[in-house]
Structure 1
Amino acid sequence: MRKRHLTVALGLLGMLCVPAHAEARDISRETLAPNDGWAAADGGTTGGAAADDAHVYTVTDRAGLVRALDGGSATPKIIKIAGTIDANTDDDGDRLDCADYATDGYSLKKYLAAYDPRTWGSDPPSGPQEEARQASAARQAERVVLPVGSNTTIVGLGSKAVLKGAGLQVSNADNVIIRNLELRDAYDCFPVWQPNKGGLGDWKTAYDTLWLRGATHVWIDHVTASDKGHPDEKEPTHFARNYLRHDGLLDITGGSDLITVSWSRFADHDKAMLIGNSDSATGDRGKLRVTLHHNEFESVVQRAPRVRFGQVHLYNNRYVVPEDVHDYRYSIGASTESAIRAENNVFHVPGHIEAADLVKSWNGTALHTSGNLFNGYPVDLLTIYNAYNSASERDLTADVGWTPTLHTKIDSAEAADREVARGAGAGRTP
């Protein structure tokens, strides 16, 4: 009898010792910390923290997500995503594939026959099949392009929140937070053939997993973005070019400004991140101020990031290029009037990739680098770039014309390597 009493007493004691914080932390009303990158400037970024209870939603399917987004309205709102939401679904939640969107007689077989360069030549596609492709693409866009308005927070619940097949667009909106969410496979059913692109022609796709266009005060944190499910390298070749199905993972264009991207993971993709989309977009001067810190770029071929015009602070990021990565080109791209400060980043690459391959310039003039590691060894990326590339491209200078003042603690590259490896990406929010 005494033994039974002791067991009950120990059980009660165990109940009393359960920590008060055992419930999962609710991050939905959290705001960007002061000084955490460019998005902390000019009043900071609060997203939907001011939302009333009527504008806090938990969504489990595309229809619920569309209702919560409210056409990109500026009403303060918090949207919590539970489980996996597939954008390629109808109003009843049934799965849609490319054949469901095709209309007006479009077929890939007919399209390829119509615009074969050997018979069509180098003119842009026109006529019935191109018109049918455009109509079919518009039907898919109605489903998968999801506008995010000002004063919005989107968070994933738990460790397995996924938005699949969607192109989230933050267009001409201010004060947006997106956290703890996997963005996967923004798959374009209807790429367009561009005969004159790159000299040999190429396929162009429509959707980024996340596109900021004219967006300001945006914080992206603990997001994972990838082509998971449909990697482009496994797509066929048409007209001697890879039949691409994906555009960027995160593109920041159209005068977007005051952006912080932290503790996120970008993986298994070709052109990952574009900051500034055109050399002729001179209206981007003084904008495109972006901070990238504690992010991981794994199996990314290029654009991690590529920058035009912007003042970009790139610190404590981790780059991993596996042996089997498809056609690696570069990681940091310095284009027209870019001003990049790359500090305490770490690069893990196979033996056939040299340190000089990590940076590429197109009309870029300035790149400040310090504290970076290349396969465990200190590397002066600027000096190496100038030594190996000056014969064909202009030298870059270390004077980028600005010094970051808004940033969290800048860790050593060694410490960042460990912390990012175990902490970046969706499902790992601290």
Structure 2
Amino acid sequence: MVVLGVVVATLGALPVRAEPADRPATIAADGEGNATADPPAAGPESAGPVESLGRYRNPLRPAAEAIPAPPEGESWPEGDDEEDLREGTTRGPPVLGEPADNPYDFAGERSVADPLFRYATPPPAGFTGASSIEPSEEQESSHFVPVEDRWRIGVPPWDRYGKGHERLDDYPYALGNVFNPYTQNLLKEDFPIIGQHTFFDMKVISRTIAMFRQVPTPNTPFESTPTPGQEDFFGNPNGFLFLQYYTLAFELNHGDRAFKPNDWRLRIAPVFNTNYLEVYEYGVVSPDVSQGRRRSRGFATIEEWFIEAKIADLSPDYDFVSIRGGSQPFTSDFRGFIFSDLNRAIRLFGTRLANRDQFNLIVFDQREKDTNSFLNSFDSRGQQILIANYYRQDLLWPGHTAQASFHFDHDDASLKYDKNGNLVRPDPVGIASPHEVN
């Protein structure tokens, strides 16, 4: 309390500098009309109030501006005579003078004293691409700034460690590029490519399988063998298998990227394969022993292609029913013990009771598999499959899921040899004759 009293007493005794009335502080204009300031002369200190603020030239008004005569029967305010007005001076500091024109009001449609509020727009994180959203409204006040592309809102950079964003450090909100899939990227559905709800997804997948194996292999003693003179039934069990897959998947879909299911989807995925097999006995690569012990093949196909559309919304909890037609993956049970394949089909599917229940009805018209790459070919197999299933989550107690399934298979009678010359259908056991399977 004592210290506070001393401070108040000291502040009350501080002198106040007053400008002398005979030398006011002015802002005059030079020969080119630029504002120049004349510093006020030092005057005596006084404890009384400031008697005069002096006169200031308004720098926003040209010095040579013509001043009209005062209205009839009126006069200029005291101290602002015609000579002072022609010199561009007025009472008070320049901040209270005539406001500047609004630099953003080019069309002159409205009179605004101050410019509209603008804020710095940092670049958004990741690789966003160009926005396809055209502005539909203009900013009308400084209270609201319209931002219509809600996906490309910029985030200020954050130097988390204060090291100037070193390359090997991990920073949030990092800028990306088209070849970086580990940050947000336009090519993996992080930003819409058309409007606010249409996204594009591109995947480039390389899958390599290299297998060294030992499998009991007969030595074909009565035909030809690379190791003659052996009496054992089994020959050299060693073998090497190599499979290389390259997949390019392209998808265009329309949705919200959240809980709401897609309104529609278009997907296509070509696959390219090379394979190589080497064994140490004849009759393995092909029944024809003249084909040797090595085989190299290549194959290309469109493994996945389909069109999907939502038929209806079933509830406010994003329950839906959709239909999909084309070559698509499907697993009928929990682990795929009964059926799991990617093939040509028409599927009706959806959810109920806030996604507690899921249902599927699908009909397959199977395509033939390539012999060495195991990919779908473009030939029909003559097999039709019907599957219907229904899942119920939290049945009896939480966490327990039950499923009911129905499977029907119709396989036409056919005779099929694969590309290596092996009999595939019917199964070469007993009397091998074509027969129908239901």
Q: Which has the higher helix share?
A: 1
Q: Which has the higher strand share?
A: 2
Name which one, 1 or 2, has greater alpha-carbon Rg: 2
Structure with greater contact order relative to length (CA < 8 Å, sep ≥ 6)? 1
With the shorter chain as reference, the TM-score category is under 0.3
